[in-house]
A and B are shown apart, each in its own frame.
Chain A
Amino acid sequence: MSNLEKYDAVIIGAGNGGLTAAATLARGGAKTLLLERHNIPGGCATSFVRGDFEFEVALHQLSGLGTEKNPFIMRKIFNELGVMDKVEFVEEHHLYRMTIKDEFDITLPASWKGIREVLIENFPDEEQGIKDYMLLCERVVLESFMGFKAALKMNSEDMLMKNSKHYAEYGLRSAKSVLDKHFSDEQLKTLLAAYWCYLGQAPRNINFVDLAMMLYAYGVFKPWHIEGGSQALSNALLESFLEAGGEVQFNAAVDQIITDKSGDKPKVIAICTEHGDVYETEQVISNASSVVTFVDLLDTDELPEGISQDFKSREIGTSAFCLYIGLDCPPETLGIKNASTFMGTTMDEDLMVETMATLNPPVATMLTCYNVDDPSFAPPGKSQVSLLCLQYGKVWDDVPVEDYADTKYAFAEHLIEQAEEFFPGFRSHIEEIEVATPLTMQRYLNTPGGSIYGFIQNPEDGEIHRPRYDQVEGLHMAGCWQGMGGFQPTYMVGQSTAKAVLKKLKAQRLAEQDQTQTQDVKEPANV
């Protein structure tokens, strides 16, 4: 081991949470080191090149940006991070098309009013329910940000019941129960619950507020993606970090978080990389999975008490099986008219979720074609598509390594068959294809089971039940393992975690200054 430099803060991992944390710290004046085990920043938010195509790995729809006229929180955050002038955002014009075999085929526009119109047009008998439901979504979402937060801050039951009564009444109910309350048409319920797959749990196992949030946020503030893919934003964040004096190392996994165990709580003093380099620091922000961080990296003999307790009620969340496909034709040749399509052969969401834990043919898949809104995603006349279904990593545990390749191709065939059914001719236009399994996700993200959203997001896994870890002094988590998965949540948690660390560093500096000043004053007195 060689002892090297000392840093104000070290960040483990350059995924969304790590990058926003790193940029925030460096721009806030902290001497920061970012260590990433892969050769490129981004984690999920990345791309790779095959033939004529640069494939977007993860970002389907970025939320939280809002338009220039009607901006939302991510615009402010990206501004603060210094990346607004480094990337171009592309607005998508549809929420999604949902098509279920022998049932329905409906496309929702990216507009709150437009959604209402399309829903009423297709389900005229449910007009009142639709109006009530959408109003409830709006109220619950807004209250969760404002009335509820204020009540919590003031610890006031009065305020809670007055300013966030819809949230209190419906926010934590299951999404399914609220849908059932408003509608009798199963098709309508299925259509409105489509975004469940961004959370990875069936509607009966997600909080209404989380489903409402997605419909409202994408409906009002639009879905977006990024020119050049999410990799462009990852690279921009890194650039902003470097411009502010940050230092980065790729191909440099952190192997150990070293603590001083003499006090009540273990206290971070250094980290050690796979190359045996040791960097001193008292503040570590980990973007790696919390299981890896505490079980594998932290050098204590046992898990800190509170962590152990929290982990006991957790389960590893879903991964994805994903085909990255380059087509030799433009989207319209195959009748692809909007960016995001949810396809399925059933309306039974429980069956969809059960299938995620097997290698059976998926009953629900998602197809995203970026070229619909952004022709620059492929060379002229071609297009890029990602075709995926959610899947748990553990289904691969029993596949012998020598059967891995055959098994993944066989499973890929199921997805292609489904695409072929909704987009006839699909297969014959495939020019380039790369198959990613949960094991691929695990390899590139270093997450147990290849999880892409962190722990399973049951209602009882919401932030409201899960305080931030503070069992190790100087060790902070930033990423989808504390809080929600997805782009917006991980960008936000990275920034807020780093801001808290900056505050600590500042307080520490002031305290040190105080000390030297008192010493300065004392010394002459001694003379």
Chain B
Amino acid sequence: MSNQYITNKEQLLSNLVGYVESRELIAEREKIGSDFSEDKGKNTAEIAKLHPKRLNLEVTEIFQETPSTKTFRVRSARGALPPFQAGQYINLFVNIDGVETARPYAISSCPTHRDYYDLTVKIVKGGFVTNYLLNDVEVGQTFSATSPIGTFYYNPIIHGKKLVFLAGGSGGAPARAMIESVLSRGVDADFYLVYGNSFAEDVIFQDTFRALAQKHENFHVMEVISRPEEGYEGLTGYLTGELINEAVSGVDEVMFYVCGPTPFNDFCKSELKALSVADKRIRIECNGPPKNPSSIQNWPTEVSEEEMVTVKVRGKGEFKAQVGEPLLNSLERNGYFVENACRSGECSLCRVKLVEGEVFNPPEAKLRKSDETFGWVHSCVAFPTSDIEILY
């Protein structure tokens, strides 16, 4: 391109009213403006202040909460950890006997502590990761984790002034964070915790909750034991509608938070529905893939969970997998890494495209409509019901 042309073009354009003034303005701004080169790395740093992709954590203390539960206090060598909303979780990456996998754990400490997060983990019978955490992990161990995420938290805009947390077992973990956070910020709301456990000795944070109830007029705690020993004097049984109704009056203006094992969550939900509580007043934390997918509606009846199928990963390889195991887990066991966080179907980080074959997507899979149209699935809750080929 010759200068001649540029000059001519400038001349031509100068016939447009306003053109010359704009050129002058540009020249002015060039004199005083910055070219952003001093901002190198700034964008990344700003994003990482709230949402770093990975945290590097070290276990600095371990507390035995109950015979079946430990709290791991983790810190970052880099100082303060990202802020979070009480109720959110991090996804903890682990390497167990060469298998790279991860599990989400709610942060049980209050967001006012930024120098550590507490992760309170209850053992799961036959659980791959919880058994490792509770039996093998010692102070000094390091982990990589996602930054805090999740949608299970107190939302001041619409959650109102009467909050009820129905917790089961490890559900006490997010409950502690949420309750401490609401109370310490002086939120104008009444908070009730109804905490169900199988055994009296399993009640996590019992002392903490009782002390808070002593101290704060607007906090009330109720412990319910389903398999009490003889002579147990407290409340017993399940968290039935009747019990909830007695504990809290005026359930139609309450926001309910439900967190516990899946059967606990399902039970609470049906009890609340029976009390005519509107869907929008029930917030249930996700809790991993369904344990018995073949019992769910629309499961292809001709396929059993024990069958083996071939999973082909385009351009990368193939392996055999069991129908009843979530695709993400079998990918990990065979050395394929797929990004993930909730492992419960809701965050979409583990999205892969199904190119061939069929998978079963349970209701846990919160798929976007157009993902469904074009065959994208959330691998953490997708069960391969035939030989499949995927792409990611």
Contact = CB atoms under 8 A, between A and B. Distances in A.
A binds B: yes
Interface of A: 39-40, 47-52, 54, 151-152, 155-157, 160-161, 167-174, 207, 228-229, 231-232, 234-236, 238-239, 242, 247, 249-251, 291-292, 295-296, 302-303, 307-309, 311-315, 328, 401-402, 404-406, 409, 412-413, 416, 427, 430-433, 435, 439, 442-443, 446-448, 458-460, 462, 464-465
Interface stretch (B29-37, B132-140, B225-233): B29-37
A446 B82 contact: no
For the side of the interface on B, what is the size category?
Answer: 35 or more
Given A50-B151, A401-B83, A448-B36, 5 more contacts: A47-B368, A311-B36, A312-B30, A312-B33, A464-B16
Given A155-B5, A232-B373, A313-B30, A292 B43 contact: yes
B42 A173 contact: no
Contact of A54 (B50, B82, B369): B369
A169 B17 contact: yes
A359 B81 CA distance: 26
B220 interface: no
Interface in B16-54: 16-19, 22-23, 25-37, 39-44, 46-47, 49-51
27 contacts: A39-B339, A49-B368, A151-B12, A171-B18, A228-B369, A228-B373, A236-B370, A303-B35, A303-B37, A309-B30, A312-B34, A312-B35, A313-B25, A313-B27, A328-B278, A401-B50, A402-B83, A404-B83, A405-B83, A406-B185, A433-B155, A433-B157, A433-B158, A446-B43, A447-B43, A459-B18, A460-B26
Interface in B326-346: 339, 346
B383 interface: no
B17 A173 contact: yes
Contacts of A314: 29, 33
Given A296-B41, A465-B22, A39 B348 contact: yes
B13 interface: yes
A172 B17 CA distance: 6
**10 A-B pairs with the lowest CB-CB distances in the bound complex, closest first:** A172-B18, A313-B29, A312-B33, A460-B22, A232-B370, A311-B35, A431-B280, A308-B35, A235-B370, A251-B339
Given A173-B17, A312-B34, A464-B13, A235 B26 contact: no
Given A168-B15, A313-B33, A413 B157 contact: yes
B124 to A, nearest CB: 27
B36 A295 contact: yes
B366 interface: yes
Given A40-B348, A232-B369, A161 B15 contact: yes
Interface in B91-137: 111-112, 114
Interface in B308-340: 315, 339
Contacts of B351: 39-40, 250
A170 to B, nearest CB: 7
Contacts of A239: 374
B363 to A, nearest CB: 12
A296 B40 contact: yes
Given A155-B8, A296-B44, A409-B157, A167 B369 contact: no
Nearest to A168: B16
Contacts of B67: none
A160 B376 CA distance: 51
Nearest to B111: A402
A211 B50 CA distance: 37
Contacts of B189: none
Contacts of A462: 22
A207 B19 CA distance: 11
A359 to B, nearest CB: 17
A427 B34 CA distance: 44
Nearest to A275: B337
Contacts of B5: 155
B22 A172 contact: yes
Contacts of A249: 392
A412 B157 contact: yes
Contacts of A232: 369-370, 373
A462 B5 CA distance: 20
A291 B37 CA distance: 8
Nearest to A55: B368
A295 B50 contact: no
B9 interface: yes
B212 interface: no
A417 to B, nearest CB: 11
Contacts of A465: 22-23, 26
B349 interface: yes
